[in-house]
């Protein structure tokens, strides 16, 4: 029996403090899936972004997926006591899990509706599971279907035509409230990944010219800086540079703060009271939240974008019904494809059994009627074929109809009933 489960938390269910506790770097995702592979037989994909940590688990061999074991596994990985975060965690099953992933991939569940980055993150999570070997036939079908959903939403709705990402909202609605212009400001970018690259695009659109990129990997920093006509410095000099700049965009994958309160206090006097805008887009957060209480420091995290993002979503609500219709269609298609594969075996066995019986009876009949011409034999064979098809039609149609239903209990009852009634061999 095919079963699907999604367990985790996201920005709708958990605040940033809880999400930090469940943050996984790409390398940690690999190690966690490897542990899963060593201990479990179920398929698994781990999707971890700054706004969500979601473990997708699938089984198609009739084995039960233990919800409690999934919860305990993920909590153990992060040394979290389940009872301390239980209200922030969610568990979705079967059709709800499928619909949820489709909404995530289509960027309908994002903080900024239509933001483009989530699709690449879904792809990366699926690819990682493929590398480790925890994505089997069910999750392969599920995640491939989610990519199709995203493609349809982009092509058939206007949600992405005026797409707005978290960096664009941050720059336009936050940075520009503090500074009238950016062309005379110094900008420091900590981190050199996709989020840093996208943020720089919006910063330069707003006029930013003096750009410094610092990353633990100097090669990545150099590549990003060259792309945006900036320059680089060493990781060890980040505090000294923090004393000189006006805007900081931090997007590293560090597992703990890279700028603590004491680090900032050590260079605060050198800033001479100049305003400092810090946009901390990392998860866990790169900057100690206490730094935001210092004078002339404007520190914003991902959660501070919620209100602006919600307004953004309201302006796109008119396109949501189209996108939801696509998701409903593709959910039905996914379940139909999965059930068709499951029922294919019993349909094949039933046909093979009846074909074998037909051939036995035709051989006996033609032996008793040796004077039948070839034309007459073809007519008799044709009549047998028509009879078999008519007799097979009702049970096969029932199986196919049930394949479209999200709750598959009836499908398996029908399969079992047909197997028993016609004594089909496994």
Contact status, residue 334 vs residue 403, Cβ threshold 8 Å: no
Q: 348: helix, coil or strand? A: helix
Q: 327: helix, coil or strand? A: helix
Q: Please count the other Cβ atoms lying within 10 Å of the Cβ belonging to residue 226.
A: 12
Tally the C-alpha atoms within 13 A of residue 418's C-alpha that lie toward its C-beta: 27
Pairing assessment for the beta strands 276-280 and 247-250 based on DSSP bridges: parallel
- The tokens for 72 are 């305990």
Pairing assessment for the beta strands 3-10 and 90-93 based on DSSP bridges: antiparallel
Contact status, residue 196 vs residue 282, Cβ threshold 8 Å: no
Which phi and psi angles does 391 have, rounded to 5°? -70, -35
Angle separating helix axes 117-132 and 26-39, nearest 10 degrees: 40
CA–CA distance, 418 with 413 (Å, rounded to integer): 9
50 catalytic? Reply is yes
Catalytic residue among 50, 75, 309, 331: 50
Q: Enumerate residues 6+ apart whose C-beta is below 8 A from 114.
A: 107, 159, 160, 162, 163, 164, 316
CA–CA distance, 53 with 150 (Å, rounded to integer): 20
Active site residues: 50
């Amino acid at each position: 029996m095919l079963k699907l489960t999604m367990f985790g938390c996201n920005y709708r269910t958990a605040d940033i403090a809880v999400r930090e506790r469940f943050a996984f770097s790409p390398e940690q995702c690999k190690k966690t899936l490897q542990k899963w592979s060593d201990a479990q037989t179920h398929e698994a994909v781990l999707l971890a972004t700054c706004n969500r940590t979601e473990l997708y688990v699938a089984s198609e061999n009739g084995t039960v997926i233990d919800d409690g074991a999934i919860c305990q596994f993920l909590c153990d990985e992060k040394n979290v006591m389940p009872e301390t975060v239980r209200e922030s965690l969610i568990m979705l099953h079967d059709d709800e899990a499928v619909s949820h992933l489709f909404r995530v991939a289509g960027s309908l569940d994002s903080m900024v509706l239509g933001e483009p980055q989530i699709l690449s993150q879904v792809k990366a999570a699926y690819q990682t599971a493929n590398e480790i070997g925890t994505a089997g036939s069910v999750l392969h079908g599920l995640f491939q279907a989610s990519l199709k959903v995203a493609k349809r939403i982009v092509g058939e709705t206007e949600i992405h035509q005026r797409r707005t990402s978290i960096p664009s909202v941050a720059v336009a609605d936050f940075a520009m409230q503090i500074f009238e212009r950016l062309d005379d400001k110094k900008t420091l970018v900590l981190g050199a990944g996709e989020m840093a690259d996208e943020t720089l695009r919006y910063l330069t659109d707003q006029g930013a010219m003096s750009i410094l990129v610092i990353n633990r990997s100097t090669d990545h920093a150099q590549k990003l800086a060259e792309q945006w006509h900036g320059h680089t410095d060493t990781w060890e000099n980040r505090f000294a540079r923090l004393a000189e700049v006006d805007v900081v965009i931090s997007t590293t994958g560090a597992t703990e703060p890279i700028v603590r309160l004491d680090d900032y206090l050590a260079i605060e006097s050198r800033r001479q009271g100049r305003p400092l805008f810090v946009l901390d887009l990392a998860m866990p957060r790169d900057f100690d939240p206490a730094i935001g209480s210092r004078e002339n420091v404007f520190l914003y995290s991902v959660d501070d974008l919620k209100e602006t993002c919600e307004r953004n979503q309201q302006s796109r609500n008119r396109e949501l019904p189209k996108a939801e219709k696509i998701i409903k269609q593709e959910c039905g298609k996914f379940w139909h494809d999965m059930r068709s594969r499951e029922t294919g075996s019993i349909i094949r066995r039933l046909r093979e059994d009846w074909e074998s019986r037909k051939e036995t009876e035709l051989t006996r009949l033609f032996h008793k009627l040796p004077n039948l011409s070839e034309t007459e034999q073809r007519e008799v064979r044709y009549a047998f074929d028509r009879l078999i098809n008519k007799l097979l039609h009702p049970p096969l149609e029932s199986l196919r109809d049930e394949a479209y239903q999200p709750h598959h209990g009836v499908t398996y009852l029908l399969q079992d009933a047909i197997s028993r009634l016609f004594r089909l061999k496994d």
